[in-house]
Amino acid sequence: ICDKEITSSQEGDISTKNLVFTYKYLNALDKAEPDSTRVVTEDITQLEKSLTVSFSREGSCSKKGVAPNQVGYYELEKERVILSTMTSMDMMSSFQEVCVMSNTFVISNLDFTPSEDFKIYYRNEKGVLVDLKACFYKSAMYGDGDVFKVPSENKVCSCDTGKITCQ
């Protein structure tokens, strides 16, 4: 794992600035190949200039339930952030079992101003962008499936596949 921070001043360039990335094995799957597009949002939390995104995804792990070494990085653009991982290919012969693993990205001091059009994506290791279906409402980000109260409007709202619904 790289100890050096990757930074750039250009919008859309990759960065690890102010990023804490963690990963862990969750469970084994009984299938021949992982589906690299199966990414399930677990949590999205935005507090001021901090963004936390957790999701689970399919990959290859060891028979002993160990996820391979991974690094995380991100690209911040005006209307989106793209989260990416890179898995160590060393000893990949040890990681032949299909599994579900969790990835968490915590980015602090993030210079961004999210809006209703702001999107959060995960770019899998094949280069495919997967929309994590985040929602933005009243200056806060929410994850797919989040339910929250809006006391000032006496409403209960939810984030459902990237759309806010209130009752």
Cβ contacts of 54 within 8 Å, gap of 6 or more: 41, 42, 43, 44, 102, 103, 104, 105
How confident is the model at residue 7, as a pLDDT?
A: 45
Residue 12 and residue 95: Cα distance in Å, rounded?
Answer: 32
How confident is the model at residue 90, as a pLDDT?
A: 67
Please name which of 52, 56, 36, 51 lies closest in space to residue 126, comparing C-alpha atoms.
36
How confident is the model at residue 91, as a pLDDT?
A: 63
Which stretches of the chain are assigned E, i.e. beta strand? 14-15, 19-28, 39-47, 50-61, 70-77, 80-87, 97-107, 119-123, 129-131, 135-137, 140-142, 147-150, 155-160, 163-166
**In angstroms, what CA-CA distances link 12 with 68, 75, 83, 86?**
27, 5, 11, 17
Contact 167, 156 (CB under 8 A): yes
The total number of residues written for the chain in this structure: 167
List the chain pLDDT tens, one digit each, 167 residues. Answer: 445 454 444 456 899 999 999 999 999 999 999 999 999 999 999 988 999 999 999 999 999 999 999 999 999 998 999 999 999 876 667 899 999 999 999 999 998 888 888 999 999 999 999 999 999 988 889 999 999 998 888 999 999 999 999 99
Provide the whole-model pTM.
0.88
Residue 67 and residue 26: Cα distance in Å, rounded?
Answer: 9
Structure tokens belonging to residue 83: 């989260």
